[in-house]
């Protein structure tokens, strides 16, 4: 398949789908809906063709408009990053389009929803395939504006207005940061051609302007991916239709991580900026994960989970584990989009399920055994994979990240080692621990192998990086231990108070509301 056809067809097909929706903004007929879904499906097939084009012809750039030899305006980049993201966005987008076709049946503005949904997906496709700074910036802004329309699909809902306005404020700040980064990179490298910029940055060129650009790229990514304390809009998107929540995981909410991965060579020029990403991302991951556990509504809990997952993705980028961050985007997007679309059915299944007997509550000794056992399994698997020919040597950052991930398994393992736990549960938790370790090292090796030559290798950590890694491992470990033992403290007055504070997100969202206090909300007549 020709590269130009493979990379241009998916966004073009979604633009046509958007035009069909705008042509019938009200209740849309079955034939146009079927055609919109078909166009989205063909876009998936064409996006898959980029993988074939990449395998045959290698990485390349197609420039359609330029102001000069070094100033491309509209250019499409085909490499492993863009091909992976394009396939992810098109696949999740098709699933959401198919779901929304039935979910919104009978809505008076069904057509306009499908139109803005297709527009959002098309803009994300232009973003992930951008080969010039101009196209990247334009698609970045357009994606946010199209999403704004989806967030306000029910314009009379006060909560929807509040969430959309928060998103609008943070998005415009992110736009300014990305604009500043683009101008600095264009000045430092004398071009708007992204492959040329990355090649020069990989060679260590750019100076202080490139370091400043890395700082602005980090700010844009933090704002785009709803990092603490400006995460509040993401937890309030439940006022929009469910397909909007799933669409966020088609390259929208994780566009911040994509930005850092795309400009990985530039980010490595600023170790201090990467350290800030580790701190903010790590705290957001812990914060989002804890708050998620206190939310009674399944969709709100999933939204807080996304906040935490985006923090973990940002932390991975801060640790310079860019291949693993790309893998995280793909796996989390697929899982969380499905979780949102299936949330209604999950509630019904839980309500209909027969309640089990007493829950096995682990004692401190069982928790200690669980963490020792999980870490022992992880260590043995690490040595085993080091002995396998062809597997890359793991960086200290990757080892630390694996230890953090195994803490989640240890949390489950603790329940299997509780005094009242059946042996079948203990065996199952042991199998989970082994499977998680094998899965981590296998996917890690696969990600490194696939991205070799596209993404830079993780540099050796310095004193600052070692300090942050130790703090991260200790922090995640302590939180995992606290979660494992929380059932023992659940009815203590202090635990009840902590639950209230976590349920309210430590009031960071309320502070953001107060900061925007002069902004009034239009109320229905």
Using DSSP, state whether 95 is helix, strand or coil: helix
pLDDT at res. 131 = 93
pLDDT at res. 508 = 85
For the chain, give every domain's residue range: 1-131, 153-341, 358-516
pTM value? 0.91
SS (H, E, C) 322-345: HHHHHHHHHHHHHHHHHHHHCHHH
The pair of structure tokens assigned to 189 is 């490298």
pLDDT at res. 347 = 57
Sign of CA dihedral 318, 324, 329, 331: negative
Q: Are 188 and 213 in contact (CB under 8 A)?
A: yes
Separation CA 371–CA 482 (nearest Å): 12
Give the C-alpha distances (Å, rounded to integers) separating 77 from 88, 131, 298, 374, 451.
16, 5, 39, 42, 15
Separation CA 5–CA 464 (nearest Å): 46
Which residues of the chain register pLDDT less than 70?
1-3, 345-360, 387-393, 416, 419-421, 490, 517-525
For 457-480, the DSSP string reads PPPPP-HHHHHHHHHHHHHHHHHH
- Per the listing, tokens 């049946």 go with 105
Phi, psi of 235 (to 5 degrees): -80, -5
pLDDT at res. 84 = 94
């Amino acid at each position: 398949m020709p590269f130009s056809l493979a990379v241009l067809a998916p966004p073009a097909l979604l633009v046509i789908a958007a035009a069909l929706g705008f042509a019938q903004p009200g209740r849309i007929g079955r034939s146009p809906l079927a055609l919109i879904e078909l166009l989205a499906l063909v876009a998936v097939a064409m996006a898959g063709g980029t993988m074939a084009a990449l395998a045959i012809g290698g990485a390349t750039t197609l420039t359609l408009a330029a102001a000069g030899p070094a100033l491309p305006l509209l250019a499409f980049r085909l490499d492993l990053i863009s091909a992976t993201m394009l396939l992810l966005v098109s696949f999740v987008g098709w699933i959401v389009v198919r779901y929304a076709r039935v979910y919104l049946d009978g809505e008076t503005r069904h057509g306009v929803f499908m139109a803005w949904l297709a527009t959002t997906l098309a803009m994300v496709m232009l973003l992930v395939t951008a080969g010039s700074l101009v196209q990247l910036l334009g698609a970045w802004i357009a994606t946010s504006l199209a999403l704004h329309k989806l967030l306000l699909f029910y314009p009379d809902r006060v909560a929807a207005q509040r969430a959309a306005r928060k998103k609008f404020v943070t998005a415009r700040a992110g736009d300014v940061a990305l604009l500043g980064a683009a101008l600095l990179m264009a000045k430092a490298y004398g071009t708007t051609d992204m492959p040329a910029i990355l090649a020069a940055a990989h060679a260590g060129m750019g100076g202080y302007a490139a370091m400043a650009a890395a700082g602005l790229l980090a700010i844009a990514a933090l704002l785009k991916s709803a990092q603490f304390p400006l995460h509040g809009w993401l937890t309030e998107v439940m006022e929009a239709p469910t397909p909007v929540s799933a669409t966020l995981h088609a390259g929208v909410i994780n566009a911040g991580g994509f930005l850092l991965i795309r400009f990985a060579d530039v980010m490595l020029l600023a170790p201090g900026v990467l350290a800030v990403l580790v701190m903010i991302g790590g705290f957001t991951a812990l914060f989002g994960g804890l708050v998620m556990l206190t939310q009674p509504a399944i969709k709100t809990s999933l939204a807080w989970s996304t906040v935490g997952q985006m923090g973990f993705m940002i932390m991975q980028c801060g640790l310079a584990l860019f291949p693993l961050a790309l893998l995280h985007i793909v796996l989390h997007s697929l899982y969380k989009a499905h979780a949102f679309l299936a949330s209604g059915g999950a509630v019904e299944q839980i309500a209909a399920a027969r309640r089990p007997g007493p829950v096995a509550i682990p004692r401190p000794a069982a928790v200690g055994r669980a963490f020792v056992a999980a870490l022992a399994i992880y260590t043995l698997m690490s040595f085993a994979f080091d002995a396998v020919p062809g597997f890359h040597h793991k960086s200290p950052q990757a080892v630390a990240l694996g230890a953090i991930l195994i803490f989640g398994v240890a949390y489950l393992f603790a329940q299997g080692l509780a005094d009242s736990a059946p042996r079948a549960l203990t065996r199952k938790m042991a199998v989970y621990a082994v499977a998680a370790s094998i899965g981590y090292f296998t996917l890690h090796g696969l990600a490194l192998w696939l991205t070799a030559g596209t993404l830079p290798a993780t540099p050796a950590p310095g004193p600052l990086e070692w300090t942050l890694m130790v703090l991260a491992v200790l922090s995640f470990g302590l939180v995992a231990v606290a979660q494992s033992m929380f059932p023992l403290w659940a009815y203590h007055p202090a635990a009840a108070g902590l639950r209230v504070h976590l349920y309210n997100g430590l009031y960071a969202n309320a502070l953001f509301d107060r900061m925007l206090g002069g902004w009034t909300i239009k109320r229905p007549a």
